[in-house]
Amino acid sequence: MPSRVVIHLDLDAFFVAVERLDDPTLIGVPVIVGGRAESRGVVSSASYEARKFGVHSAMPTAQALRLCPQAVLIPGHRGRYAEMSRKVMAILGDYTPLLEPISIDEAFLDVTGTEAQYGPPAELAKTIQDRIEQELSLSASLGVAANKLVAKIASDFRKPHGITVVPPGEEAAFLAPLLIRRLWGVGAVTAQQLARLGVETIGDLAAFSQDELRGRFGVQGEGLWRAARGIDHTPVTPEHEAKSLSREETFAQDVRDPVLLRRELLRLSEAVAFRLRRHHLQARTIHLKLRYGDFSTITRQATLPDPTDTGPVIYARALALFDAAWDRRRPVRLIGVGGGNLEQPGRQMRLFEQASTRQTQLDVALDRIRERFGEDAIQRASLLEEPEELWVPKGVPEG
């Protein structure tokens, strides 16, 4: 059976690149996109000029400016980033329907079987890279491999504006010399645990047997064993074909303020509802995900009496799950909301029965604005006071 061909695309310093499109005087100078230093802001994105001084995503802005005092600090423009992201995804969609965006600046493409139409995978990757540069003036790095795990690591191998191809069968050899933190899913806590075992590289991890890793790490050990060998059977799943739709955010600083956490729950619930309506789906199950500062993670779910695609309904159930699950002594690193058990809306008449309701009219109006200007183009008033320094794009560190 022929190997799959998966491409992972990662836009290079995306927020900075968009800012430079709008202000060419920023080209060639150190640029930081992030919150204000005096309000404990953090870096969302840094230009490669700034990175030479040690600046990186999720770093406190005050520290970044100490390392690179000549940097230009920009607060960021989420709506503009969303607009450019949609244009990138539209280009990717020209080459395969199997497109899975995983954040505003990253996506997987399954291009298996497209060689007759677009040439070898390396040529297709170059074609995509060139189109994004020529049509949008953005730089992208791409990884090509037989699975998502290796393709994602490969896309980071020759940044910026690089293409790395890992031929089928060479996954383990490609991964072996890389530091263990390069392995997708290995965070600081797991890396520390592995360091105590003498594991510094992915190859060091691959030297352990599956039984050894399972004995030390339980179910996670089996995943580590497979990942170290470049084994990953996860499919590229277009959003509209997913069994669930979810949104999650990682905080730059662990948060224990219940007001801020509930505000983020509301934002995520609205985003999930928007995606459900966009794909003409409703969710019967609501999911909550919490990750604490020590990286321990809990999930909860609840089933609704009727499926929904409405933000307030999703938020009410997610909030109830949150209030019951959150250990208030522990600060939160990540929070997520999802909708599962997806189904098409019920009787067509249901839409007309609801058409006169204030909520439905509001949803329709908001969706039109978001479709045109991006998911963050309009928000409920209760969300407008969120400190920008708490927000970090999914997938930090940003490419």
Catalytic residue among 49, 100, 106, 171: 106
Q: What is the spatial distance between Cα 191 and Cα 122, in angstroms, rounded to a whole number? A: 32
Amino acid in position 104:
I
Strands of the sheet with 140-145, listed across from one edge: 99-103, 106-110, 6-11, 140-145, 163-165
Q: What is the spatial distance between Cα 211 and Cα 227, in angstroms, rounded to a whole number? A: 15
Give the closest residue to 111 by CA, choosing from 101, 124, 102.
124
Question: Checking phi first, is residue 40 left (phi over 0); if not, alpha (psi -120 to 50) or beta?
Answer: left
| Residue appearing with tokens 């996954």 | 171
* DSSP bridge pairs for 344: none
Q: Are 83 and 374 in contact (CB under 8 A)?
A: yes
Whether 239 sits among the annotated catalytic residues: the reply is: no
Q: What is the spatial distance between Cα 186 and Cα 206, in angstroms, rounded to a whole number? A: 14
* DSSP bridge pairs for 288: 300, 337
Q: Are 322 and 290 in contact (CB under 8 A)?
A: yes
The one-character DSSP state at 293 is T
Q: Are 33 and 15 in contact (CB under 8 A)?
A: yes
Q: What is the spatial distance between Cα 179 and Cα 145, in angstroms, rounded to a whole number? A: 19
Amino acid in position 337:
V
Amino acid in position 23:
D
C-alpha distance across the termini of the chain, in Å: 34
Record the tokens describing residue 88, joined without a space.
Answer: 């990138």
CB-based burial, 243-281: b 16+ in 10 Å, e otherwise: eebbbbbbbbeebeeeebbbbbbbbbbbbbbbbbbbbeb
Q: Are 84 and 18 in contact (CB under 8 A)?
A: yes
Residues with a known catalytic role: 106
